[in-house]
Every structure is written in C-alpha cells, then in structure tokens.
C-alpha cells in the first residue's frame, strides 16, 4: 500500500500572509497525523517565504511519523539539517523567484555537488531523496550520487490538459519509476497531485509514497469554511 506524506507549507503561507502566529503548521501536522498521514513534509526555502527554522525545530520534536525536510543543497541548509536531523532530506532545486519548485534537480549535470550533499547527510545518518524529473538518466544519476530514494516530479503530468500530453507524461513517470525500482532505489512521487490526478496511480506499485500539499490545504480551507463561518456567525449574533 502506498504511503501519503502531507506537506504543510501552505498552512505557513497563510500565516505569513498576515505575519500572525496562526495558523501554525505544527498544529496542522498533528491533525494530519491523526487523520492518517504517514509523514509530514516541509520545505525550508532560502527566502523563508513560508516555513521557518522554528517550524522545523518544533516539528522535529512533535512529529510522530516521519519528518521529511525539503531543501536546496546549500551549505547553510546542510548545516541546518545536520543540526535538526530530519528522518529524510529531499534535495530540490531552488530559485528565489519561482512560485513553487518548477523542475527536478539536474543530477546528471550536478552529480559531483549532489553526491557531496548526499554524503554529508548520509554520514549523519540521514537518508536522502532526490527530487528529479521522470527521466531514467536522472534516476540513474541519482543512484550514482548515492541517493536512497528519488521523488519523481509529477507536475508535468498533473498540469497536462491535452490527452496525448497527459498520456506521454504518465508513461514517462511509469518508465522512470520502474527504472528506480530496478536499480534498487525507493521511489516517491509528488508535485501538483490533486484529488483527481491521484486516481491515475491506481495499481502503480513502483511508487511507494506520494508527497501532497497544495491540494490538501486548499481542500481543507473549503471543507472547513462552513464550520468556521458558523462559529463566527454565532459569536456575532451573540453580541
């Protein structure tokens, strides 16, 4: 049975929109675990636009399942990971101006740097996952760089509207997932997966874990809206 890793970054996005101390991604992580999440994921971005060091440190103490830290392979982030010791680090490419992580890590081109980051993390006992495009060459380079897992970028598949493009993107995911399993890597997948696109992965046994954030937080805002308004309406009417 595949596992669900819940990314709570966008709870922090809401908090940062007003620079308040709520909603707290730590509280969201507790609820996500109570609801069946198999892991909690946070991305500590270079610009700290949502998740902060404080969140990761508290989550390290409170997460009962596994804490997965997504980060760029910079010296600053490596130092932070060695201090906090998440259960897994997922290395992602990062450009400050992007809306979200737009492409996978180019492990083929940057194999030496990636291998150095993997070794640094592994030597502290932290398993490493590389977020890569669904390309067998990137999967093979990930193994060569010492990774324990790959996370296949599902963005192209999830964003494709035309049936042909969608089919081709799905085939690429299947091929890359098979390659990963064949060479002994753990295979995860994520980015842009929603309540419809997840259904396409029925029976794809090669993918062990799905990392999903934006659609869950978006759904939570809507399914929680009625309860939230009823509560405030009752308070207003009680005045």
Q: Are 201 and 231 in contact (CB under 8 A)?
A: no
Partnered with residue 156 across adjacent β-strands are none
191 binds ligand PXP (CB under 6 A): yes
State which of positions 140-169 bind ligand PXP (CB under 6 A).
151
Question: Of the candidates 25, 127, 180, 190, which one interacts with ligand PXP according to CB under 6 A?
Answer: 190
Build a one-symbol-per-residue string for 197-236: x at contacts with ligand PXP by CB under 6 A, - elsewhere.
--------------xxxxx---------------------
What residues from 10 to 29 belong to the interface with ligand PXP (CB under 6 A)? none
Please say if 43 is a catalytic residue: yes
Judge whether 68 and 44 are in contact, CB under 8 Å. no
Neighbours of 235 (CB within 10 A): 9
Of these residues, 10, 50, 153, 191, which one is catalytic? 191
Which of these, 92, 2, 79, 83, lies nearest to 42 by C-alpha position? 92
State in angstroms the smallest separation of the CB of 191 from ligand PXP.
4
Give the residue with the Cβ less far from ligand PXP, 120 or 215: 215
Q: Is 153 a catalytic residue?
A: no
Site membership for ligand PXP, residue 45 (CB under 6 A): no
Best CA proximity match to 67, nearest among 78, 58, 80, 54: 58
Residue indicated by tokens 């897992």? 149
Is residue 209 annotated as part of the catalytic site, yes or no? no
Any contact of residue 101 with ligand PXP (CB under 6 A)?
yes
Beta strands 149-153 and 128-132 are parallel
Please give the helix or strand (H or E) that residue 68 lies within, else none: strand 67-71
Q: What is the DSSP letter of 82?
A: H
Q: Is 69 in contact with 88 (CB distance < 8 Å)? A: yes
Measured from the CB atom, the residue of 186 and 190 that comes closer to ligand PXP is 190
Catalytic residues: 43, 70, 191
The contact set with ligand PXP (CB under 6 A) reads 7, 9, 43, 70, 90, 92, 100-101, 131, 151, 190-193, 211-215
């Amino acid at each position: 049975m595949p596992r669900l890793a819940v990314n709570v970054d966008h709870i922090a996005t809401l908090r940062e929109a007003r620079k308040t101390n709520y909603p707290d991604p730590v509280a969201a992580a507790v609820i996500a675990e109570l609801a069946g999440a198999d892991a909690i994921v946070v991305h500590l971005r270079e610009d700290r636009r949502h998740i902060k060091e404080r969140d990761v440190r508290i989550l390290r103490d409170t997460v009962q399942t596994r804490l997965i830290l997504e980060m760029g392979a910079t010296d600053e982030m490596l130092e932070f990971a060695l201090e906090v010791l998440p259960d897994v680090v997922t290395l992602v490419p990062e450009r400050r101006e992007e809306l979200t992580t737009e492409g996978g890590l180019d492990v083929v081109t940057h194999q030496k740097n990636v291998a150095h980051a993997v070794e640094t993390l592994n030597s502290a006992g932290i398993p490493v996952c590389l977020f890569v495009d669904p390309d067998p060459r990137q999967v093979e380079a990930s193994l060569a760089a010492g990774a324990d897992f790959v996370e296949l970028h599902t963005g192209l598949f999830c964003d494709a509207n035309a049936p042909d493009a969608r089919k081709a993107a799905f085939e690429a995911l299947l091929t890359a997932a098979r390659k990963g399993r064949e060479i002994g890597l753990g295979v995860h997948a994520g980015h842009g997966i929603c309540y419809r696109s997840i259904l396409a992965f029925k029976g794809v046994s090669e993918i062990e874990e799905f990392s999903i954030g934006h659609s869950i937080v978006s759904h939570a805002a809507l399914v929680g809206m009625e309860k939230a308004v009823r509560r405030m309406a009752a308070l207003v009417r009680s005045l």
